[in-house]
Structure 1
C-alpha cells in the first residue's frame, strides 16, 4: 500500500499568509527608513542585526517567489535592495539605515 503522506502535493503545507506578510514587511521597513529621520546612531550589534535580518528577509523573498504575485515580488525586491542602498548614502546612513539623520531640538 502507498503511504498517504507521500501523495500530498507540494503546496498543501504552505501558509499563503507568509508570502504576503514578508514582502509587505520589507516594503514597510524600506518606507519607514526612507521617510522617517533617525535621531540617534544604533549600537554596532544592532546595526549588524538589522542588516542581517534585512538580508534574511530578502533571501526568504526569493524562497517564496512562486507563491506570491509577481508585482509584489518585484516591489519588495526593489525595497530590499533599497534598504542596503540607504546605508551607502552617508556615514549616518551606514549606522542608522535611514536616509536623513537629524538631532531634534531640546
Structure 2
C-alpha cells in the first residue's frame, strides 16, 4: 500500500489530556447542571448544539476508553447519559439542560 493508505496497525496512543479531559468535562457538566439552576432559556440552535456536544463527548469517551481508568470511564459515561436524561425531566430542562430553572 502507499504511504497515505490506511493500515490495520494501531495509531499513536491518544493524549492523556484528551482522555481525562473528556471525563472531566462530562462529570463537571453533570454536576454544574444538577447543582446550578438555569436563569434563562437559550435559543433552539444553542439547545441543539449543546445536545450535539454532549453526544459527541460521550462518543469520544467511548473512543478513548482504553486511555481512561475503568472506574473513571464508567463514572463519566453515567454522567454523560445523565446529561441527556436531565433534558427529559421537564420542558425547562429540555431547553436549558439544567435540572432546575428559576427566574432571578
2:14, 2:64 within 8 Å by CA — same for their partners in 1?
no
Aligned pair 1:73/2:77, yes or no?
Answer: no
Alignment of 1:36-51 (within 5 A): 36-51=36-51
What CA distance in whole angstroms lies between the structure 1 residues aligned with 2:23 and 2:13?
A: 20
2:3 is matched with which residue? none
Show structure 1 runs of 5+ residues with no match: 1-8
1:84 is matched with which residue? 84
Q: Which structure would you say has the larger Rg?
A: 1
What CA distance in whole angstroms lies between the structure 1 residues aligned with 2:35 and 2:16?
A: 29
1:75-104 deviations in Å (ceiling 9; x for gaps): 000000000110011000000000000001
2:41, 2:95 within 8 Å by CA — same for their partners in 1?
yes
Q: Bigger CA drift: 17-26 or 46-55?
A: 17-26
1:39-64 deviations in Å (ceiling 9; x for gaps): 00110000000000000000001000
1:94 is matched with which residue? 94
Total equivalences in the alignment: 97
CA RMSD between the two structures: 1.6
What CA distance in whole angstroms lies between the structure 2 residues aligned with 1:13 and 1:96?
A: 36
What TM-score results when the alignment is normalised by the length of structure 2?
A: 0.87
